[in-house]
Amino acid sequence: MSEFKKTVLCIGAGYVGGPTMAVMAHKCTNYKFHVVDINPKRIDAWNSSDLPIYEPGLDELVFERRNKNLFFTTEVAQGIAEADIIFVSVNTPTKTYGHGAGIAADLQYWEKTARQIAEVSTSDKIVVEKSTLPVRTAEAMSKILKANSRGLNFEVVSNPEFLAEGTGIEDLLTPDRVLIGADESPSGQRACQEIADIYSHWVKPERILTTNVWSSELSKLVANAFLAQRVSSINSISALCEATEADVNEVAHAIGTDSRIGPKFLKASVGFGGSCFQKDILNLVYIARSYGLEEVADYWEQVISVNEWQKSRFVRKMISSMFNTLAGKRIVLFGFAFKANTGDTRESPAIEVTKQLLEERASVVITDPKAIENAKIDLVEYLDQIEFEEDPYKAAEGAHAIGVMTEWDLYKELDYQRIYESMQKPACLFDGRNVLDHSALHELGFHVFPIGKSPLVHH
């Protein structure tokens, strides 16, 4: 007889699977949590002192629960056989081939997982969609599982994850809500309750929302689309602010104090990044088009177009403010992660900015406290043209311009007098995150170009 009430398996030891199971293991010490992945390197890292992802608060939780009720292995089949509940948290990237390439979700990992669950199960399972998936994927999963059930019962439940990177542990510990979508049948409702039981160890009942499966799947895509839409909305206004001498921070504050609008997600930037926003909006667009809803698709597609435009606009501003040529100029990018407090660089605006700077034949230097390794992978085709330097002071030496790509606190605390002195003159600073003290930098001698505000230049 196991010492644990239930055995929970998580397939996919990534940014979602690892932290989610670590928090669950910390809160539900009477459950066993087993995280599996096909990538042995990732699993080795989860079992080491150097975890594969950086997330504040994660190390402590993993080190506290690992090998007690939290286990990381590559034993996918064994894990499935032993589990009562299976969270599937594999990646669901955008398709790069065939029909729907560049837009639709690539569900090959998902379907393989479903088939493997059916193949190796010897007892009933609750299968939880943790990955973000197109609406009605649970239906496809149910069909695959039922067609291969050999008399076993598989209940598919949707439980999308809303954590944001950099604050993942905090988001998991105090979620705004937990969403569980389940079939309305008695067995579907029992499965829903089992998942709610796990969360109720630390989440108040009023924050555990239950819906039908399709609403749950769709809500996840819509939540990301609405969040990204706010960023594109304020970024579109940032261009107008630059043209009219309005200040985007003041506009954001003024509109954000309207309780109907609210203050969050109104920070103008060089553009949004991350593995989710673009992928999930594209997914929404694809689904809308597949139902013939062209206007709906066009509307949401525009959120991505504005984001692309904002990144190019940033580079164009560099060109026009640096005498219309960047060729041979040393430009240092402060930050490469798609946001602060993560080493993740997926879809980071810094990737596109770097590529466009290289097209202009600039000499690009990248510095970041956590993301240099990932940056090297993203830019593998251009490594001979880029310098990577962990120390921001060294990176800035001899540079013509600095571009702030990530809002790391560290960049707010640097000695900019020292940096200014080591740079070529005129020294330009393009703050793609509006996080530095622009007047102080201007006083030091920098030409400062914020987002959505008038530049501070010397004549």
State the minimum distance, in angstroms, from the CB of residue 102 to ligand NAD: 17
List interacting residues with ligand UDX (CB under 6 A).
161-165, 224, 227, 231, 265-267, 269, 272-274, 276-277, 338-339
Cis (ω within 30 of 0) for the bond into 40? no
* Closest distance to ligand NAD from the beta carbon of 44 (Å): 12
Q: How far is the CB of 276 from ligand NAD (least distance, A)?
A: 5
Which does residue 202 bind out of ligand NAD, ligand UDX, none, counting CB within 5 to 8 angstroms by kind?
Answer: none
CB 161 within 8 A of CB 130: yes
Comparing CB distances to ligand UDX, the nearer of 51 and 350 is: 350
| Matching residue, tokens 């993560």 | 342
Q: Which does 356 bind (CB under 5 to 8 A by kind): ligand NAD, ligand UDX, none?
A: none
13 binds ligand NAD (CB under 6 A): yes
> Nearest-CB residue to ligand NAD?
14
Report, in Å, the least distance between residue 130 CB and ligand NAD. Answer: 6
Return the residues of window 271-300 that contact ligand NAD according to CB under 6 A: 275-276
- Chosen residue from 131, 142, 356, 434 binding ligand NAD by CB under 6 A: 131
3-state secondary structure the chain: CCCCCEEEEEECCCCCHHHHHHHHHHHCCCEEEEEECCCHHHHHHHCCCCCCCCCCCHHHHHHHHECCCEEEECCHHHHHHHCCEEEECCCCCECCCCCCCCCCECCHHHHHHHHHHHHHCCCCEEEEECCCCCCCHHHHHHHHHHHCCCCCCEEEEECCCCCCCCCHHHHHHCCCCEEEECCCCHHHHHHHHHHHHHHCCCCCHHHEEEECHHHHHHHHHHHHHHHHHHHHHHHHHHHHHHHHCCCHHHHHHHHHCCCCCCCCCCCCCCCCCCCCHHHHHHHHHHHHHHCCCHHHHHHHHHHHHHHHHHHHHHHHHHHHHCCCCCCCCEEEEECCCCCCCCCCCCCCHHHHHHHHHHHCCCEEEEECCCCHHHHHHHCHHHHHHEEECCCHHHHHCCCCEEEECCCCHHHHCCCHHHHHHHCCCCCEEEECCCCCCHHHHHHHCCEEEECCCCCECCC
In whole angstroms, how far apart are CA 272 and each of 268, 307, 340? 9, 7, 12
Per CB under 6 A, does 19 bind ligand NAD? no
User: Nearest distance from residue 79's CB to ligand NAD, in Å?
Assistant: 9
Cα 182 to Cα 83, 100, 127, 156, 161, distances in angstroms: 19, 28, 11, 7, 15
- Using CB under 6 A as the binding rule, whether residue 89 contacts ligand NAD is answered as yes
**Smallest separation (angstroms) from ligand NAD to the CB of 52:** 8
Tokens read off for 55: 């997330």
Among 41, 68, 112, 146, which residue sits at the site for ligand NAD (rule: CB under 6 A)?
112
Per CB under 6 A, the segment of 22-30, 56-64, 107-115, 416-424 that binds ligand NAD is 107-115
Interaction residues for ligand NAD, span 153-182 (CB under 6 A): 161, 163, 165
Name the residue nearer to ligand NAD (CB basis): 163 or 405: 163
276 is catalytic: yes
Minimum CB distance to ligand UDX smaller for 272 or for 286: 272
Binds 137: which of ligand NAD, ligand UDX, none (CB < 5-8 Å by kind): none
Out of 28, 192, 241, 276, pick the active-site residue: 276
Stretch 38-67 residues interacting with ligand NAD (CB under 6 A): 38-39, 42
Alpha-carbon gap, residue 268 to 311, rounded angstroms? 12
CA separation for the pair 150, 119 (Å, rounded)? 9
| Residue 15 binding target from ligand NAD, ligand UDX, none, CB below 5 to 8 Å by type | ligand NAD
User: Which residue lies nearest ligand UDX, judged by its C-beta?
Assistant: 274
What number of residues does the chain have? 459
Residue 266's binding partner, choosing from ligand UDX, ligand NAD, none, with beta-carbon cut-off 5 to 8 A by kind?
ligand UDX
The one segment of 32-40, 60-68, 288-296, 434-442 that binds ligand NAD by CB under 6 A: 32-40
Residue 37 within binding range of ligand NAD, rule CB under 6 A: yes
- Which residue among 62, 94, 107, 113 contacts ligand NAD (CB under 6 A)? 113
114 binds ligand NAD (CB under 6 A): no
In the complex with ligand NAD, the residue whose CB is nearer, 65 or 130, is 130
State which residue, 38 or 319, has the beta carbon closest to ligand NAD. Answer: 38
By the 8 A CB rule, do 352 and 382 touch? no
Q: Which does 21 bind (CB under 5 to 8 A by kind): ligand UDX, ligand NAD, none?
A: none
- Residues making contact with ligand NAD (CB under 6 A): 11-17, 36-39, 42, 76, 89-92, 109, 112-113, 131-132, 161, 163, 165, 275-276
For the annotated catalytic residues, the residue numbers are 276
